[in-house]
């Protein structure tokens, strides 16, 4: 239990790194949550600051999830010999990877370093899931890109990807016979549902036709002065 507690804490602290907020302050001296969509994530960073800061935030957020599920989870083996999962029907290694990855996503959504006001967790969830089972993530990423390019809505692409991912896991296990632990199916579904719930504001805007599209990878023009005047 001590080993499990340590890796959970480390995963949360890593997931809590508010990359978009820190990058926004370094690049423009602003809190990214006060501008644009108000979301502390890569999409808002891309839209307001351009492709370079946006890419940096995307990679950091992805790495937070990947590092937690792929590396931090394995620290439990060094802290205690043969850590035991809480439920006997879960294999230990998938259990550790999933728990640490999910906690990193929770840390991104509710970051300790940013008053628990974080992003939607899409990039961090992608990194987490890639650390657990990369093939299904690669397929889902392809679906994400197709939807984003054709619709120009990042939020719609994220919602479709969150819905498709658990289905990919089910197909890999039951159609193609991949040895995917049942716990991965369960948590894949939980993460997908969590991301969809986190996007409920985007869903309303999509239905109302007011959601922002991806126009370009250049920084938005005049957004800082406009927001300052509105305040």
Q: Estimate the crossing angle of helix 134-151 against helix 154-174, to 10 degrees.
A: 150
pLDDT score of 212: 81
pLDDT per residue of the chain (231 residues) written in tens, 0 to 9: 788 899 999 999 999 999 999 999 999 999 999 998 898 999 899 889 988 999 999 999 999 999 999 999 998 888 765 555 454 546 788 888 988 998 999 999 999 999 999 998 889 989 998 999 999 999 999 999 999 999 989 889 999 999 999 999 999 999 999 989 888 898 789 878 988 998 899 999 999 999 888 766 678 767 676 655 444
Q: Measured between alpha carbons, how far is 222 from 183 in angstroms, rounded to an integer?
A: 48
pLDDT score of 227: 56
Q: Measured between alpha carbons, how far is 170 from 71 in angstroms, rounded to an integer?
A: 25
Single pTM value for the model: 0.84
pLDDT score of 2: 81
Write 187-190 long-range contacts (CB < 8 A, 24+).
187/98, 187/101, 187/102, 188/129, 188/136, 190/102
pLDDT score of 81: 58
Q: Measured between alpha carbons, how far is 43 from 51 in angstroms, rounded to an integer?
A: 10
Joined together, the tokens standing for residue 210 give 């007011």
DSSP letter at 31 equals -
Please return the burial class of 74, using the count of CB atoms within 10 Å of its CB with bins 0-12, 13-18 and 19+: middle
Q: Distances from the Cα of 93 to the Cαs of 34, 61, 110, 132, in angstroms?
A: 40, 23, 26, 10
DSSP letter at 220 equals P
Residues 6+ apart with CB under 8 A from 120: 39, 41, 109, 158, 195, 198, 199
pLDDT score of 99: 87
**Hey, what's the torsion of the CAs at 174, 179, 183, 186, to 10 degrees?**
-30
Report the residue count for the chain: 231
């Amino acid at each position: 239990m001590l080993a499990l507690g340590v890796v959970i804490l480390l995963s949360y602290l890593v997931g809590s790194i508010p990359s978009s907020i820190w990058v926004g302050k370094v690049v423009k001296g602003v809190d990214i949550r006060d501008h644009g969509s108000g979301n502390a994530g890569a999409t808002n960073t891309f839209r307001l600051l351009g492709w370079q800061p946006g890419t940096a935030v995307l990679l950091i957020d992805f790495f937070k999830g990947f590092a937690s599920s792929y590396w931090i989870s394995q620290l439990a083996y060094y802290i205690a010999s043969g850590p035991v999962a809480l439920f006997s029907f879960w294999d230990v290694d998938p259990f550790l990877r999933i728990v640490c990855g999910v906690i990193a996503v929770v840390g991104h959504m509710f970051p300790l370093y940013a008053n628990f006001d974080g992003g939607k967790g899409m990039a961090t969830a992608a990194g987490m899931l890639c650390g657990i089972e990369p093939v299904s993530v690669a397929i889902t990423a392809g679906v994400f890109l197709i939807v984003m390019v054709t619709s120009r809505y990042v939020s719609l692409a994220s919602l479709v990807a969150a819905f498709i991912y658990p289905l990919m896991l089910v197909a890999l296990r039951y159609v193609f016979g991949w040895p995917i632990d049942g716990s991965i199916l369960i948590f894949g579904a939980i993460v997908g549902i969590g991301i969809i719930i986190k996007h409920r504001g985007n869903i309303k805007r999509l239905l109302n036709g007011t959601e922002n599209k991806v126009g370009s990878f250049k920084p938005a023009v005049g957004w800082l002065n406009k927001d300052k005047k509105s305040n």
